[in-house]
Structure 1
Amino acid sequence: MNTADVVTRYYELANAGDWDTWCDLFAEDQTMDEQLAGHVEGRETLRDMMKGFPDMYAEFANVPVHVVVDGGHAAVVSHITARTPAGRTVEADVCNYFQVEDGLITYMTNVHDTVPFAALSEK
């Protein structure tokens, strides 16, 4: 897969909630800087982390709004709409940056407003 294909598949799998296959898009030694989860190294660490994701969100959608691909690099502005099992909602704009080598994501970072997510932990 080329970079555009990998990025398209990233959002397709995330929106389908297929987190195990989503993790397969990442290189074994991937590095991720996730604004809420922090620094994540290794595909299997990411896979373990994502096992709890379905318990956090009853519904989750991350819809690309603008995608820029340049060789092995991509930047995506997207919008997240999510709902927890308790009915709390999240609406947040996000920017993801990807580095892709040999059809796998080797590095990814995201930047977004943390306030909508912080509200999920309030009682």
Structure 2
Amino acid sequence: MSNREILEKYYAYANAGNWDAWCDLFTDDQEMDEQLAGHISGLTTLRGMMAGMGQAYAKFQNVPKTIFVSGDEGAAVSHISALAAKYPDEAIEAEVMNYFKFRDGKIAYMANFHDSKPFEPFLRQISEG
């Protein structure tokens, strides 16, 4: 699978809620800097975190607008439309930029960048337990 195909699968799996297949796109020693969750090291940690995504959101769509790939680096501009499970009447709409590094046909590093304000319903849900 090419690096561009990996990114296309990244978004397809996320939008289908197929978090196991999504996690399979990452190396075992992956590193991630996630805007809301912080730094995540290792695939085992990532899998544990993503196991709850289906319960955290009533809806989650991350639609790519533009995907760039150059060698072992890539980036994507996308739009997230989501609803937190506890607050499905408060829409989450955010523009996002993701940066990727690839190694051996998988994602070795990913960082995302977006305004945290639109995710307030999700963050409130987490803080309330």
TM over 0.5: yes
Paired letter, 2:22: W
Distance 1:73 1:62 in 2: 20
Q: CA deviation at 1:8?
A: 0.4
Deviations 1:72-109 (A, max 9, x none): 11110000000123312200000000011111000000
Paired letter, 2:45: T
Paired letter, 1:118: E
Q: CA deviation at 1:57?
A: 0.5
Q: Which residue of 1 aligns with 2:74?
A: 74
Q: What is the TM-score of this pair, normalised by structure 1?
A: 0.95
User: In structure 1, the residue corresponding to 2:6 is in which secondary structure?
Assistant: helix
User: In structure 2, the residue corresponding to 1:36 is in which secondary structure?
Assistant: coil
Distance 2:98 2:65 in 1: 11
Structure 1 residues without counterparts, runs of 5 or longer: none
Runs of 4 or more, structure 1, over 6 Å off, are none
Q: CA deviation at 1:119?
A: 3.7
User: In structure 2, the residue corresponding to 1:55 is in which secondary structure?
Assistant: helix
- Does residue 101 (structure 1) correspond to residue 103 (structure 2)? The answer is yes
Distance 2:70 2:22 in 1: 22
The answer (yes or no) to whether the contact 2:62–2:80 under 8 Å persists in 1 is yes
Residue range with higher mean Cα deviation, 85-94 or 99-108 = 85-94
Distance 2:8 2:41 in 1: 22
Q: CA deviation at 1:36?
A: 0.4
The answer (yes or no) to whether the contact 2:25–2:107 under 8 Å persists in 1 is yes
Q: CA deviation at 1:118?
A: 2.1
How do residues 23-42 of structure 1 correspond to structure 2 at under 5 angstroms? 23-42=23-42
Q: Which residue of 1 aligns with 2:14?
A: 14
Distance 2:82 2:98 in 1: 17
Task: State the number of aligned residues.
Answer: 123
Overall identity of the aligned pairs, in %: 50
Distance 2:14 2:44 in 1: 17
Structure 2 residues without counterparts, runs of 5 or longer: none
User: In structure 2, the residue corresponding to 1:58 is in which secondary structure?
Assistant: strand
Q: What is the TM-score of this pair, normalised by structure 2?
A: 0.91
